[in-house]
A and B are shown apart, each in its own frame.
Chain A
Amino acid sequence: MDSDEDERTLLPLSQRPEWSDVTPVPQNDGPNPVVPIAYSEEFAEVMGYFRAVYLADERSLRALHLTTEAIQFNAGNYTVWQFRRLILEALNADLHEELEFVEQLASKNSKNYQLWHHRRWVAEKLGTEAASRELEFTKNIFVNDAKNYHAWSHRQWVLQNLGGWEDELAYCNELLEDDIFNNSAWNQRYFVITRHPGLGGIEATIDSELDYTIKSILIKPENESPWRYLRGLHKNNVQSFVTNPKISTLCLNVLTSKANPVFALSLLLDLISKGFEPNQDLKNAIEVVVPESNSQDSDISVTICTVLEIIDQMRVNYWRWRKKNLHPQVAEGVANLHIH
């Protein structure tokens, strides 16, 4: 913000000559409002003038400056933001300045819906020229908050609408190297694999992605993210999910290590429900997870559920429910049960 504007914000609006023709409109709260907010004088004054220009539909430069002040007091006021967009359009304003305005605000309001919606609107108006700056903008947000939901949504919108896919997979790698538990980065990876216009989708990338995922699981088997990612890679290909020996080998490796076996068992349960038949090694590995359980059922799925009931207490009801629903329609799960 320039110094000229700083000075203007210091003076109360009622003392600024350029506002002398405007009568502020008080808020119509009624005589006995509930949840009344004890606004500061400055806040009440700015909003009084805002209501006046809003009601008069005054799309002027001074109204634009007024929305700046109102937004700085409360970045959640969507009415002010929406009116600001109408003004920007009417004035045919320089939207690069608008980007700077949003960037300044974002340092304090990075979880505000209105701010991100506005940013998207500006970026859309600017078109493809905005792509790299938008990607950079979200990257800066992720330095302090690598899981910022709004920033990820914005980044995905930019990629899909303005482009800039080239380095996105490398960026996912970088974030996952920093924090392999960052599920937002795993989600972004899935987004890139499935929607990147040049990678050919899951079909073309499945081998390298599966290797990457397995490697990640073996580093931290207690990390849920890559286990879900692995299922996601096979969402539309049950055949390869069930028959790929890399997946069953992964389960065996995790089960025979000292690592937390819950996700391996859970994955095996899904595999078996889709038709996978575990070999004797795997069956032995499952049964030794809880040797004292003595649950050597003829049905290995039942054994898995029993083991999970014992070692995963927080989800004991769920595993019991899964066990109850193993037959007759295991594969369809609950999705199909509405058919009598």
Chain B
Amino acid sequence: MESSSSSSSAAAAEDWKPTISQEEQWTLESQVFHIYRLLCNIPPNSQAAMLELQRDSHMEYLLKGLRHLGPSFSVLDANRPWICYWIFHSIALLGESIDVTLEHNAIDFLMRCQDQHGGYGGGPGQMPHLATTYAAVNTLITLGGHKSLASINRGKTYLFLRRMKHTSGGFSMHDGGEVDVRACYTAISVASVLNILDEELVQGVGNYILSCQTYEGGIAGEPGSEAHGGYTFCGLATMILINEVNRLNLASLTDWLVFRQGVEGGFQGRTNKLVDGCYSFWQGGAAMLIQRLHAATGSTSSESSDDEDSMAEISPDREEGQHSDVDEVNSSSIPINFINRHTETEPLFQSQALQQYILLCSQVEGGFRDKPGKGRDHYHTCYCLSGLAVAQYSWSKDADSAPLPGSLLGPYSNLLEPVNPLHNIVLEQYNEAREFFSNASAL
């Protein structure tokens, strides 16, 4: 066992046999600290190289996936809009452009995944599904431009979302599908960004999410289940998008969240589980949302009138069903005011440690992985890069201002594009889509 691990030395004093959780944790710690020791023991210029984001090899890996996936990807045959999102969002985070033909091919392909009655399926001819609808819509916004944005049938998407509405207040993933917090998030995120969110869709969602916040503070997939990073992000973002976030116990959610960052620097998804690169975004993004909430609520005086306005938007009186005075235009301004809000609050997590874990433990030659010893994939590439962007901008006072010197780990070329954490879309593309859909006709 590694002497650098405090928990292992404590346990060495005990005559208890380590449990499975401990054994797994110590094994990972020893692997991670081995890598960190390597970093400490090499000259500074080699350190910079070790911490460098390997842009070229990542682009090569991503572009290859767009053009060809081997037979082993058949198990993801019902997730192809997701693969599109993981890849195109990664490329957008890297600030790289792609050739126009590839863009058109992507728009054409996603058109074939769009169901005639609204929503997108996992591939051409498959039933529409909320998660792949979220992935397809986010991809098309990331691609940007009139052709791409206009290819989304907003009216039919709305009808699909209404059809997925469940009696519990939540949403079903698809006709006859499971009801959980993921379904709520993907439905509300899509409706919000397309400017089709209304009271019928919102009704009952807040109660459903609230029923999933656990005694630990985080949010579970379903009432009674265990607090989990992915669902916590989904639940928190949903509550912000529907303007009911203050109904959550934010103090306990924050406390649970900050304890998910492990000694390795990365985030774990649940208490006493191993860290995993993908939670860099799920937990790191949730931490960024909390930080922005504090920007709204943390100061009670000497704020500009702009902030007063946005505060008014975020403070909800909506628990008792008095929703009638909130029209679509008003509710659709919540996310943009939230994201554009100026913040003086520091990040709630250790940003440098997170960047170190992502760059040294998750990054491989072309792509990212869960942890040392695991293989790369497009999912982890997307969420490691998203988490890296969140960490890099975590000290910035405005969503789109350049990071402060010192908040970026590694060379300046590591800097990624800033994201809108509510939807995990690169900010510039999100702004374009917002403008496009706010001018779109009413349904």
Contact = CB atoms under 8 A, between A and B. Distances in A.
Interface of A: 25, 27-30, 32-40, 43, 47, 51, 73-79, 82, 85, 113, 116-117, 120, 146-147, 149, 152-153, 156-157, 160, 178-184, 186-187, 190-191, 195, 219, 222-225, 228-229, 231-232, 235, 259-260, 266, 313-318, 320-321, 325, 332-335, 337-340
Contacts, number: 238
Contact of A339 (B105, B109, B175, B315): B315
B74 A43 contact: yes
B250 interface: yes
Nearest to B215: A232
Given A85-B176, A183-B273, A224 B259 contact: yes
A88 B105 CA distance: 38
B254 to A, nearest CB: 7
A181 B129 CA distance: 36
Interface string B246-272: 101111101110110111010000111
A229 B70 CA distance: 46
Contacts of A116: 178
B272 A74 contact: no
19 contacts: A29-B109, A34-B66, A38-B68, A40-B74, A43-B77, A74-B77, A76-B77, A78-B127, A147-B270, A153-B222, A179-B21, A184-B226, A186-B271, A190-B215, A224-B259, A228-B216, A232-B214, A317-B348, A334-B293
A128 B198 CA distance: 40
Contacts of B346: 317, 320-321
Interface residue tally on B, bucketed by range: 35 or more
Contact of A79 (B126, B215, B248, B297): B126
B347 interface: yes
Contacts of A117: 177-178
A40 B75 CA distance: 12
Contacts of A190: 214-215
A51 B124 CA distance: 11
A225 B76 contact: no
Nearest to B76: A76
Contact of B272 (A34, A182, A235, A318): A182
Interface of B: 6-7, 10, 16, 19-22, 65-71, 73-80, 83-84, 87, 101-102, 105-106, 108-109, 112, 121-127, 129, 173-178, 214-217, 221-222, 224-228, 246, 248-252, 254-256, 258-259, 261-263, 265, 270-273, 290, 293-294, 296-298, 300, 311, 314-316, 345-350, 353
Most buried by A among B66, B126, B348: B126
B127 A318 contact: no
Given A146-B20, A149-B228, A181 B109 contact: no
B266 to A, nearest CB: 11
B78 A334 contact: no
Most buried by A among B84, B248, B250: B250
A9 to B, nearest CB: 16
Contacts of A77: 77-78, 122, 126
Most buried by B among A149, A186, A224: A149
A222 to B, nearest CB: 6
A187 B214 contact: yes
Given A30-B108, A228-B256, A260-B6, 13 more contacts: A30-B124, A32-B105, A33-B109, A34-B109, A78-B129, A152-B225, A187-B225, A260-B7, A314-B265, A317-B347, A318-B258, A335-B248, A338-B297
A136 to B, nearest CB: 20
Contact of B70 (A38, A153, A260): A38
Contacts of B215: 190, 228-229, 231-232, 235
B151 to A, nearest CB: 13
Nearest to A41: B71
